[in-house]
Amino acid sequence: MSNRATSAISEPVPISLCAREPYVPADRLVAEMVPPPRFDSVRFDTYVPDPHQPSQSAAVTALSAFAGSLGGAHASGSGRRRWFARKSIAPAAPRGVYLDGGYGVGKTHLLASLWHATPAETSLKAFGTFVELTNLVGALGFQQTVRTLSGHRLLCIDEFELDDPGDTVLVSSLLRKLVEAGVALAATSNTLPGKLGEGRFAAVDFLREIQGLSAHFQPLRIDGEDYRHRGLPEAPLPYSDEVVAKSAYATYGASLDDFPHLLDHLAKVHPSRYGALIDGVETVCVTDVGPVPDQSTALRLVVLADRLYDREVPVLASGLPFDQLFSEEMLNGGYRKKYFRAISRLTALARDAKGLAGR
């Protein structure tokens, strides 16, 4: 029987995310630096380029070549390059790529495809978001993180946070050490304030903000619109509280919480633990969705939305539609790209949940 199947024999009891206080040891943070479940099976040939955006096909070609160039080199912990190939072949320069584009153009799909295509053992490749990387530094300390990742052939960083100056400097220092150890880098990023849309991209800002590493990165611009909604129907309207609760009790592995209490609970759980917070959850059911009250709460919700999207967890909700979560001030502010990404991803997950409501 499917985990999401309903049963006429015994009624499942929903999980409460608000009752969970997960603990995540440092070694789990390292072990989980792989593409999330949503991107387990993605490859370059499963990426569907928009025929009206030639930069998307060009990016696939460039990244495939970049993956092939990483087959021979391995960085030793001492910072000296060691070669597995019988004959030493200098790797193609630069040793890093930066995927430059708006949300929903498939940057994460391409980044994960690069990770999968790189000819190295899983233990020699790392994939994580910028937040997960900073959490790793916090858990292990800077020097231990350098030692842990220096033996890798490739480090992929999704959603490099250009709008967080302190963490950007920290990660820039880490990347400098890893480049010296021979680790290849690949990154996507959010844009700086004032750079979203209208064909304005973040490549220059990214290369400036990573302080002296620009020579190691080849920017790959990827134009296009949000693929999550390309040619798809509108997201379903929110359901009633009764429908959401009934669905939660009829669906194995479902959670059930009201939105205001869930937002309060997120403040008590470090964002590095949001993945653990939804371990084993097959569907998230939320009642009374309303406007997010402040920016700190909004940014925590963005992280939760990312973890839900990574794990392909449908979201069934009552209250306001997801495009009304964030105020106009938030959507016009410096973090607006994060909020638009959260709306996009939650909308996609709401569409995934449509069949669970019995409509």
| 38-56 residue pLDDT tens | 899 999 999 999 899 999 9
Strand partners for 158: 129
Q: For residue 235, give the 3-state DSSP assignment.
A: coil
Distances in whole angstroms, Cα of residue 49 to Cα of each of 188, 242, 318: 17, 41, 34
Phi-psi region of 287 (alpha: psi -120 to 50; beta: other; left: phi over 0): beta
Q: How far apart are CA 22 and CA 304, in angstroms?
A: 14
Spatial separation of the C-alpha atoms in residues 37 and 35, rounded to whole Å: 7
Q: Which long-range contacts (CB under 8 A, 24 or more apart) does 133-136 make?
A: 133/157, 133/171, 133/174, 134/167, 134/170, 134/171, 135/29, 135/270, 135/271, 135/272, 136/26, 136/29, 136/30, 136/33
CATH of domain 51-224: 3.40.50
How far apart are the C-alpha atoms of 358 and 229, rounded to whole Å? 23
Cα dihedral 18, 20, 26, 31 in deg (nearest 10): -100
pTM of the predicted protein model = 0.75
pLDDT score at 95: 84
Domain ranges of the chain: 17-23+229-357, 51-224
Contact 269, 277 (CB under 8 A): yes
Average pLDDT of adjacent 10-residue blocks, the chain of 359 residues: 46 90 85 90 93 93 93 45 38 74 85 95 91 87 94 92 76 91 89 47 72 80 72 74 95 96 96 91 97 95 93 96 93 84 91 79
At position 10, the amino acid (one-letter code) is S
Q: What pLDDT does 231 receive? A: 55
Per-residue pLDDT, 11: 65
